[in-house]
Amino acid sequence: MKRSPRIFDLIKGLGLIGVAGFAMLYFLVNERFEWIPEQVLELARDPEILKRPPAKKCSECHKAIYEAWKDSRHSISWTSENFIEASENRTKEKCLPCHIPKSVRGEKPSPRLDLRDEGIYCVSCHFIDNKMQGPYDLLAPPHPTFRNPDYVRSNICGSCHQKTFKEWEATKVEDTCQDCHMPRKKGRLTQKAGFNLLHKKRWVGDHRFLHGEIKENDVIMESGWEENFFLISLKNKTIPHFVPTADNGDPRLYLYIKFFNEAGEEVDNAKEIIAPQQETALPYNRKIQYRYRLFDKILKAEVELKYQPAWSKEKTTVRAETVSR
Amino acid sequence: MRLLRFLLIIAAFIFIGILPVHAKDMVVKEPPKSLSKYYPPESKQPKWIQQMHKMSTHFGGVFVNLKEKDFENVDMHADKLVEEYKKTSEMVPEWEDYFDIKAAEAFAAAAKTHDIAQAGKASGGLGKTCGKCHAEQEVSVWAKFHWPSFHKIKVTDPISEKEIEFDDYMGSISSSFKGVTVNFGEGQYGRAAKALKVFKSRYLELKSTCSKCHATQDVKRFYVGKDADTAFAGLSQELNSEKPNPGKFWKNIGLLGKTGCKHCHLVHRTNSFIQEMWEK
């Protein structure tokens, strides 16, 4: 059977109208959303979103952000074994505010009563005054939104990372916590079919809240010899807070030094614990000098710097060097 | 004048309600199991305390409103007080005998006469029931539900890098402290200097334990703060000098022992002793 040309034209026509319609809708949603009357928006709203739902609910649309958050330490701030042990099975009242915050607003939050296993979740950080607050002025048909410039500022992190925030503030470095720990990439805020095409691409911050790495040129290590001394210095050159840094966690750097004599035998050793809780962490851009008196004739020193994060007892080697006289 | 009288009545009420009934022998018994239901982790909130606040608010509410001559609210608070008091009496069966429902009802009846003097007088009987329980139970409840346990804290020994129990750690810090003093006493300055290094690293490690119970850094000004730094600096100065000065050495040892070990023990060990009794 031969297809009637009329029907063909009709399809083409409808297609054209569709494309034009989509273009108009795209323009409306992305550029002129204030033209859409509130009553129309009501139809698209999903009231469940405003009832402080678990993160899974947000993943219906914000799938990529959800998956990233799932990989973050924030999502396990309440279920972490280490935390459960340290908080005496979560009975220490002082330990609850930052690990199960109700609402984050630039100061120490109060703890919440519901959905504690979600840890620090989407609603804690975004749901304020019955709106989803975020960095953008945009239209989200399913829920009201509000642009709040604090989302791209360090003080939102400083609600809980209070000590780190103070350290950062003192350095006067402009890079924010988000710049390094939530690096942005162009992409869609939502993955739900329809929404993802209707909304333009934007910068999306990495919700894995990346830990950060100490690289060769971040912490500078220098060493040398004097008559009866071995000297070594460490300088945190690029990281605008102490290294390591912590509020209630106990991350550490261990500096091990072994001294060898002419025969190649280890005759002495030394150790430094570089830890925020012991107030020995490396400040920003200031050289910290360690000095060891040598009692034997030493020809060689082996130096190793190891890192242990707040949430683990495993150490990884950051730097290893052999220094000969 | 009227304000003064009012304040006196309120003060009398507070004293009756909160001041413990004096008794020379104090028994610190472990609180009954059924109380645990009203504290974390079994309950998300400290429900027992919330119940206390409710009673306290209605108790106080009677007097505040009597003063304001808001008699409708006097009656409301009086009724609520009896209601909450009854409710509280059923929460912990083992503590039922502390409550005197008749005294609560008598107070409510007196309050409803709207005569402030009569209400003040009748409050005594009820207030005494509050005070007796507080005197006998509050310390136990604090030790059980408000003091975290040092027995559940582990410390990483900086020398061996092994995690050990807190009290074992105290044992090892105490023997390395002795390593310094005994060697110094014997004139073995080289050994004393070596022992000081070990002792200092163990002492510094204590700083990592504070954050397991405290959520502010400020507390580290005590026991492990400047006084300790000064003492350690003084000690190593003496031990590295050609002729150590015993006067200066012992002064710094005293400083550490007192503002470090002893003061920390005075604040933290009392409850640890009580908890230890119950754990046995």
Domain closes at, from A205, A238, A266: A205
- A24 & A48 share domain: no
d(CA A192, CA A200): 13
Residues near B63 by beta carbon (within 8 Å), at least 6 away in sequence: B9, B10, B13, B116, B119, B120
Q: Is the pLDDT of residue A1 over 50?
A: no
Q: In the prediction, which pLDDT does A13 show?
A: 66
pLDDT for the residue numbered A216 = 87
pTM listed for this prediction: 0.93
Nearest to B207 among A94, A248, A278 (CB): A278
Domain tally, chain A: 3
- Per-residue b/e over A181-201, b at no fewer than 16 CB within 10 Å? bbeeeeebbbbeeebbebbee
Asked if A47 and A88 sit in the same domain, the reply is yes
In chain A, residues with a C-beta closer than 8 Å to the C-beta of B214 are: 94
pLDDT at A3 over 60: no
Residue A210 included in any domain: no
The reply to whether A153 and A300 lie within a common domain is no
Residue A143 belongs to some domain of the structure: yes
Same structural domain for residues B12 and B74? yes
pLDDT for the residue numbered B279: 86
Residue A16 lies in a domain: yes
Are the beta carbons of A92 and B217 separated by less than 8 Å?
no
The DSSP line for B165-200 is EHHHHHHHHHHHHHHHHHHHHTT-HHHHHHHHHHHH
Residue A246 structure tokens: 């912590």
Q: Which residues on chain A are in Cβ contact (under 8 Å) with B41? A: 89-91
DSSP string, A208-272: T-------TTTEEEEEEEETTEEEEEEEE-S-SS-BS--SS---EEEEEEEEE-TTS-EEEEEEE
Nearest CA in chain A to B156: A313
Write the residue in B41, B44, B208 that is nearest to A275 by C-beta: B208
- The residues facing A101 across adjacent strands are A111
Q: Do B15 and B86 sit in the same domain of this protein?
A: yes
Both tokens of residue A4?
């009637």
Q: Same domain, yes or no, for A123 and A17?
A: no
- End-of-domain residue from the set A179, A205, A231: A205
For residue B215, give the DSSP letter.
Answer: S
pLDDT at residue B204 is higher than 70: yes
Q: Is the pLDDT of residue B122 over 50?
A: yes
Taking alpha carbons only, the member of A26, A57, A72 closest to residue A192 is A57
Q: Are residues B39 and B66 in the same domain?
A: yes
Statement to judge: residues A145 and A52 lie in one domain: yes
Q: Examine the fold and report which residue of B146, B165, B199 is the final residue of a domain before the chain moves on.
A: B146
Nearest to B44 by CA among A83, A108, A93: A93
Residue A299 lies in a domain: yes
> Is B65 in the same domain as B195?
no
Question: Do residue A120 and residue A192 come from a single domain?
Answer: yes
Residue-wise pLDDT tens digits, A181-201: 999 999 999 999 877 778 889
B45 to chain A: which residues are within 8 Å by CB?
113
How many independent structural domains does chain B possess?
2
- The per-residue pLDDT for range A50-75, each reduced to its tens digit, is 999 999 999 999 999 999 999 999 99
pLDDT at residue A34, rounded to an integer: 78
Residue type, A88: E
pLDDT band of B15, cuts 50, 70, 90: very low
- Assess whether A137 and A11 both reside in one domain: no
Q: Residue type at B209?
A: T
| Residue where a domain terminates, one of A150, A173, A205 | A205
Answer yes or no: is pLDDT of B225 > 60.
Answer: yes
Nearest residue to A141 (alpha-carbon basis) of A185, A186, A194 = A194
Are B132 and B181 found together in one domain? no
A54 CA: distance to closest CA in chain B (Å): 19
Please identify, among B146, B180, B215, the residue that sits at the C-terminal boundary of a domain. B146
Same domain, residue pair B189 and B238: yes
Are residues A208 and A68 in contact, defined by beta-carbon separation less than 8 angstroms? yes
User: Residue A244: which CATH number?
Assistant: 2.60.40.10
Is residue A264 predicted with pLDDT exceeding 80? yes
Name the residue facing B152 among A88, A113, A273 (closest C-beta).
Answer: A88
Determine the length of chain B.
Answer: 280
Note whether B51 and B183 are same-domain residues. Answer: no
Range of the domain at A266: 216-324
Any chain B CB within 8 A of the CB of A152? Answer: no
CA separation (Å) from B153 to A181, B249, B262?
Answer: 31, 32, 20
Cβ neighbors of A16 (< 8 A, separation 6 or more) are none
Q: In the structure, what pLDDT confidence band is assigned to residue A12 with cuts at 50, 70 and 90?
A: confident
User: Is A71 within 8 Å of chain B by CB?
Assistant: no
Contact criterion met (CB < 8 Å) for B208 and A163: no
Q: At B46, which amino acid appears?
A: P
- Does the beta carbon of A248 lie under 8 angstroms from any beta carbon of chain B? yes
Q: Does B208 sit within 8 Å of A94, measured CB to CB?
A: no
Pick from A278, A280, A308, A314 the residue to mutate for testing the B interface (most B CBs within 10 Å): A278
Inter-chain residue contact B40 with A277, CB threshold 8 Å: no
In whole angstroms, give the CA distance from residue B111 to residue B109.
5
Give the Cα separation of A191 and B25 in Å (integer).
Answer: 70
Q: How confident is the model at residue A30 (pLDDT cuts 50, 70, 90)?
A: confident
Specify whether A19 is located in the same domain as A168: no
User: Do A18 and A133 belong to one domain?
Assistant: no
Strand partners, A224: A231
Exposure b/e, A160-174, CB count within 10 A at least 16 = b = bbbbbbebbeebebe
Task: State the pLDDT at residue B23.
Answer: 55
Q: Are residues B178 and B230 in the same domain?
A: yes
User: Based on the domain organization, do B239 and B114 belong to the same domain?
Assistant: no
B224 pLDDT tier (thresholds 50, 70, 90)? very high
Same domain? A174 vs A100: yes
Whether residues B129 and B160 share a domain: the answer is: no
In this prediction, residue B16 carries a pLDDT of 46
Q: Is B252 exposed, middle or buried (0-12, 13-18, 19+ CB in 10 A)?
A: buried
Residue A297 lies in a domain: yes
Residues B107 and B163 in one domain: no
| B18 plus B141 within the same structural domain | yes
Look up tokens 């110094």; give the residue: B184
Strand A145-147 to A131-134 pairing? parallel
Match 């959520």 to its residue by tokens.
Answer: B215
Distance to chain B for A169, nearest Cα, Å: 17
Q: Are residues A27 and A134 in the same domain?
A: no
The answer to whether residues B94 and B86 touch, using CB atoms and an 8 Å cutoff, is no
SS3 A299: coil
Q: DSSP alpha helices (H): ranges in chain A?
A: 5-31, 38-44, 55-58, 63-70, 81-86, 122-126, 155-158, 162-171, 177-181, 195-198
Q: In this structure, are residues A311 and A73 in contact, taking their beta carbons and an 8 Å threshold?
A: yes
Q: Using a CB-CB distance cutoff of 8 angstroms, which residues of chain A are in contact with residue B202? A: none
Chains A, B: CB contacts under 8 A, how many? 49
Q: For residues B82-104, give the mean pLDDT.
A: 98
Contact yes or no for A280 and B149 at CB 8 A: no
CB distance B152–A280 less than 8 Å? no
Mean pLDDT (chain B) is 92
Range of B50's domain? 2-146
Residue B9 has pLDDT above 90, yes or no: no
In a domain, A211, yes or no: no
What is the pLDDT of chain A when averaged over all its residues? 92
Domain end point (choices B96, B116, B146): B146
What tokens were used for A258?
A: 């072994």
Q: Which residues contact A96 (CB under 8 A, 6 or more apart)?
A: A87, A90, A111
- Distance (Å, rounded) from C-alpha A147 to C-alpha A124? 16
Q: Are both A149 and A194 inside the same structural domain?
A: yes
pLDDT at residue A18 is higher than 90: no
